[in-house]
Every structure is written in C-alpha cells, then in structure tokens.
Amino acid sequence: MLQNDNWGDQARIGMFIVGSEAVPEAEWWAMLPPHVSVHAARVSASAPWARWQENRTGVDLADDLVRGSQQFAAMRLSVVVIGHSSSSFVGGKGWDGAVVENLRPALGPDVCVTTNGLDTLAALRASGVRRPFLIFPPWFNDATIATGIRYYEDHGFEPCAHLRYDPGPEWRDLPPGELNRHGLGLAQEVTSLSEQISAGCPTTADGVLIAGTGFRCVAILDALEQDLKRPVLSANQASLWHCLKLAGVGSDISGYGNLLRL
C-alpha cells in the first residue's frame, strides 16, 4: 500500500519567507490538506522585499526574490505568496499589486501571485470582520506597528485596538529588533499569547487578526474562537486559505479556525 508522500498533485504552493524563521513552514505543514505541497524560498532582505522606485511608479525586487522566482518557475507551481506581513505594511497601499505584477512575468502566466497583505485583507472580508483587534509580535517596533495599523485603515478597515504581545520579563530589557537575535523566534510560547489576547480583546472588536508570518499562533486559533465567539485569523492561516482558493482547492480543514472551513 502506498503511503502519503505529500505530493502536490492538486496544488503546489511556493512561498517566500524570512531566511531565519522556522514558524511559517511548520504552521503550513500542520494545516495543509492532502495532495497539496508547499515549497519555501528564503529571503534575507529587509522590509519591504521590493523597494518603491522614484515617484512610486513601480518596485524593484530584492535579489532573493529574483533568484527565488527563477527557481520557482521550473516547479510548475499553482500559487506563489510573498509570506511577509512587514513588507506589505511598510510598502503600504499599492505595494502588493506592484510586486505581484513584477513577479508574474518571471513565474509564468499560469501561476497566481499574492502577498500576505492581500491574503489577510481577503480573509478579513470573507470572515465579515470590519473592526479587528490587531495583534503584533514583540519584535515589531512602534514604527512597524504604526504601518500595520495604517495598512488596514487604508484598505477600509477600522482597527479598534491593538496589542504587542509581551513575551515575559526575561525579554523586556531587549529592544524589539534584538529579540530574535537572542533566540525569541525559536522560544515562542502560545499559551501566554492566548491569555493576553483573551484578556485584551475589546467588546467593540468583531474579530482578531494576529499579524506576522514568523509569529507562532495557529495552535490557539480554534480555542480563541470558541472563547471569544468571534473570528480569529492569523497571517499564515490567511495565506494558506487564500492560496488554496486561488489554486481552486477546497479547504475544509478543521482545528485551525473557521476561515479554513469557508
């Protein structure tokens, strides 16, 4: 009898992810339905991964995106996603569309291209969320959080509150930009994150969005939805859901939030 080998005979999804992060692939592998495979290309550039040209007439892709797209082009992929919340936030309104148009020629006409920003926007709309409670990882500084809030406001949403997760006293003396260099990315705990979200979620929020593809959280999405009685979305969950939709694959996946059952 043949055993499952994760062969992507229904869809193959390529994702660009931060070079030093383990979370995106782990969370995607946990949620993937049968007959869908995911393939990562790692990026070391700072956000955004494509820089605006003068007068914002277009974007120039980081070298890692160019190289990764050349490799992806030979893999007969269904969808490619820029799996980086910060790039969408820092790039701002219009950046997602500009980078999608820039990547398409290298990947081929049959490959759909998306970004984590576009994915979360689609997930919020599909879930009927207009006033999200935004949750940011502790390594986002004040400026990046401000760009994230503005990103959703610029796309018609009304964030009612936000929270930067507190990882505990042992990390508080480090500035946000130093946290992952000292190992927080691989020392993330989800129980305290769940507790902080439940305690801080305002009654005016009609949903929760946990931003950041390197932010470990999909294990708590179902439990939070049951507790808060509202949709709870995350960056990686939204990108997987949107990529499956773009690939024409049904996503009746249990255990990781209602979004993946839509």
Distance in angstroms (rounded) separating the CA atoms of residues 215 and 83: 12
User: In the prediction, which pLDDT does 164 show?
Assistant: 98
User: In the prediction, which pLDDT does 1 show?
Assistant: 87
Distance in angstroms (rounded) separating the CA atoms of residues 244 and 11: 8
Domains located in the chain, CATH noted: 11-116+243-252 (3.40.50.12500), 120-236 (3.40.50.12500)
pLDDT one digit per residue (tens) for the chain, 262 residues? 889 898 999 999 999 999 999 999 999 999 999 999 999 999 999 999 999 999 898 999 999 999 999 999 999 999 999 999 999 999 999 999 999 999 999 999 999 999 999 999 999 999 999 999 999 999 999 999 999 999 999 999 999 999 999 999 999 999 999 999 999 999 999 999 999 999 999 999 999 999 999 999 999 999 999 999 999 999 999 999 999 999 999 878 999 999 999 9
Segments of 22-170 assigned E as strands: 36-43, 50-52, 59-61, 79-82, 112-115, 132-136, 161-164
pTM of the model: 0.97
Distance in angstroms (rounded) separating the CA atoms of residues 22 and 20: 7
